[in-house]
């Protein structure tokens, strides 16, 4: 079991997640989400069994290190709001669902499991659903804009948690959920080296910066 150090305000929490769930296809607009699924299917990415889709992964994939090691040459990240339940309370951070895009063409869950999941070490108390739409996220890869927009496009935390409970029942202990992402500005994945992510909620901006290195063969 991994340990996640969370800086909240002036304090620090030590979270030992028992569950890591990456949520996919979490768009609030169901027609647009279906269109996205069909676009991915056209390039060989298997359709999910459910929408939203939930992929349980090893919590040991979580990392706040500045460099992650990947095996494949075609991997890329995505900025995501990260929901953490720790000691019965909920927090919000920012992270990247780094994924192997070659493996993704045959097995989405395996593609996600093939890469570490970077997450920033600063968190805030999870905002209320009625402020969710005002939260903004951005991603830059190798200095170039990659994603930008507000969370109005994604399902709210309450919606997502209810659907997760319906899919898995009660998940005891500390829980980390990657809650989905926004469309890419250029429409195509970029296997870049340097990733800079940010999430701005009110006057607070959370960041997660990391680089990738290829594992020696």
Question: Mean pLDDT over residues 173-190, rounded?
Answer: 91
DSSP structural state of residue 167: H
- Domains with residue ranges and CATH for the chain: 4-214 (3.90.850.10)
What pLDDT does 84 receive? 98
In this prediction, residue 1 carries a pLDDT of 44
What's the average model confidence in pLDDT over 80-97?
97
Tokens of 28: 């609030």
d(CA 44, CA 102): 10
- What per-residue string of b and e applies to 106-139 under the rule 16 or more CB within 10 Å gives b? eebbebbbbbbbbbbebbbebbeeeebeebbbbb
**pLDDT at site 36:** 76
Any idea which of 11-20, 28-37, 155-164 has the lowest mean pLDDT? 28-37
Residue closest to 80 by CA, chosen among 177, 209, 163, 194: 177
Q: What is the pLDDT of residue 186?
A: 86
Does the pLDDT at position 2 exceed 80? no
pLDDT of 32: 81
């Amino acid at each position: 079991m991994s340990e996640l150090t969370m800086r909240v305000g002036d304090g620090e929490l030590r979270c030992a997640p028992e569950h890591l769930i990456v949520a996919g296809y979490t768009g609030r607009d169901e027609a647009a989400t279906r269109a996205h699924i069909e676009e991915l299917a056209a390039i060989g990415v298997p359709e999910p069994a459910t929408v939203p889709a939930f992929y349980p992964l090893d919590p040991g994939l979580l990392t706040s290190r500045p460099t992650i090691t990947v095996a494949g040459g075609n991997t890329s990240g995505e900025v995501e709001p990260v929901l953490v339940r720790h000691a019965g309370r909920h927090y919000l951070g920012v992270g990247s669902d780094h994924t192997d895009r070659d493996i993704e063409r045959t097995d989405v869950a395996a593609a996600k499991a093939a890469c570490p999941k970077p997450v920033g070490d600063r968190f805030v108390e999870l905002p209320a659903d009625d402020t969710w739409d005002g939260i903004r996220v951005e991603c830059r890869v190798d200095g170039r804009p990659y994603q930008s927009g507000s969370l109005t496009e994604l399902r709210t935390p309450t919606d997502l948690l209810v659907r997760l409970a319906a899919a898995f029942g009660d998940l005891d202990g500390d829980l980390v959920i990657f809650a989905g992402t926004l469309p890419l500005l250029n429409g195509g994945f970029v296997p870049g080296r340097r990733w800079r992510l940010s999430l701005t909620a009110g006057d607070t901006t959370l960041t997660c910066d990391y680089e990738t290195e290829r594992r020696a063969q």
